[in-house]
């Protein structure tokens, strides 16, 4: 989702091949044996296999809202927040989402571990509006999809939890044209398909 968000905002056109994780095409595993998505192949044949790297690849070419424009101290905070999100937070989130697969602790325990991160984000949002400043930047877009997942585990609880700034930030994101632009369901890619392009799926 975050790779699509950055590509969509940059307007850079890519061929989109939707895959079903339970039935990965051979070509995906050939170009990227680790078998995770997203994977981007550039026109000069480079393989980019991490969503964050794909975001930076797109925004370094076209960055209409200056998501990459941070001063050095903001840059450091941004990098730390994203690393923490992609590391410890994502691990707690996965356990909270699939608590029945991790019976050594309760769902509540996993949620509370993840909430330690939410408390940090809530404070940043209270101080700045967005995570780093008063406007969205790379960290917001890189982290928001994971907070959306966190919220969805128990939406009724989340909506009344003491995170008003996160609720506002997430609701604004979910209500944005950008988010809705990247959401259409796309049929899985098959060898015989004619190419489909993103973000202009209908072009």
Ligand X SMILES: N[C@@H](CCC(=O)N[C@@H](CS)C(=O)NCC(=O)O)C(=O)O
The reply to whether 41 sits near ligand X by the rule CB under 6 A is no
The reply to whether 20 sits near ligand X by the rule CB under 6 A is no
DSSP 177-203: HHHHHH----PPP-TTPPP-EES-TT-
Of residues 3, 10, 4, 59, the one with CA closest to residue 184:
4
Distance separating alpha carbons of residues 182 and 180, to the nearest angstrom: 5
Nearer Cβ to ligand X (153/161): 153
Nearer Cβ to ligand X (94/181): 94
Binding range to ligand X, per CB under 6 A, among 30-38, 93-101, 124-132, 178-186: 30-38
Residue from 20, 21, 177, 194 touching ligand X (CB under 6 A): that is 21
Q: Are 195 and 4 in contact (CB under 8 A)?
A: no
CA dihedral angle for residue 82, residue 85, residue 88, residue 93, rounded to 10 degrees: -170
Distance separating alpha carbons of residues 90 and 121, to the nearest angstrom: 14
The reply to whether 50 sits near ligand X by the rule CB under 6 A is yes
Instruction: Quote the least distance from Cβ 78 to ligand X, whole Å.
Output: 16
The reply to whether 68 sits near ligand X by the rule CB under 6 A is no
The reply to whether 137 sits near ligand X by the rule CB under 6 A is no
Residue from 32, 51, 78, 137 touching ligand X (CB under 6 A): that is 51
- Phi, psi angle pair for 197, to nearest 5°: -110, 145
Contact footprint for ligand X (CB under 6 A) = 21, 35-38, 50-51
């Amino acid at each position: 989702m975050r790779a699509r968000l950055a590509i969509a905002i940059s307007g850079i056109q890519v061929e989109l091949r939707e895959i079903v994780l339970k039935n990965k095409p051979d070509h995906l595993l050939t170009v990227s044996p680790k078998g995770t998505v997203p994977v981007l192949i550039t026109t000069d044949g480079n393989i980019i296999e991490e969503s964050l790297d794909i975001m930076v690849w797109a925004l370094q070419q076209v960055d209409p809202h200056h998501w990459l424009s941070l001063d050095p101290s903001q840059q450091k905070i941004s990098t730390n927040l994203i690393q923490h999100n992609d590391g410890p937070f994502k691990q707690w989130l996965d356990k909270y989402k699939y608590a029945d697969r991790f019976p050594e602790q309760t769902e509540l325990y996993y949620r509370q571990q993840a909430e330690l991160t939410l408390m940090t984000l809530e404070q940043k949002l209270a101080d700045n509006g967005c995570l780093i400043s008063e406007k969205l930047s790379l960290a917001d877009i890189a982290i928001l999809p994971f907070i959306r997942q966190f919220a969805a585990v128990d939406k009724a609880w989340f909506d009344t939890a003491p995170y008003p700034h996160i609720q506002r930030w997430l609701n604004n994101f979910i209500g944005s044209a950008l988010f809705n632009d990247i959401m259409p369901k796309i049929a899985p890619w098959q060898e015989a398909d004619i190419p489909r392009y993103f973000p202009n799926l209908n072009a």
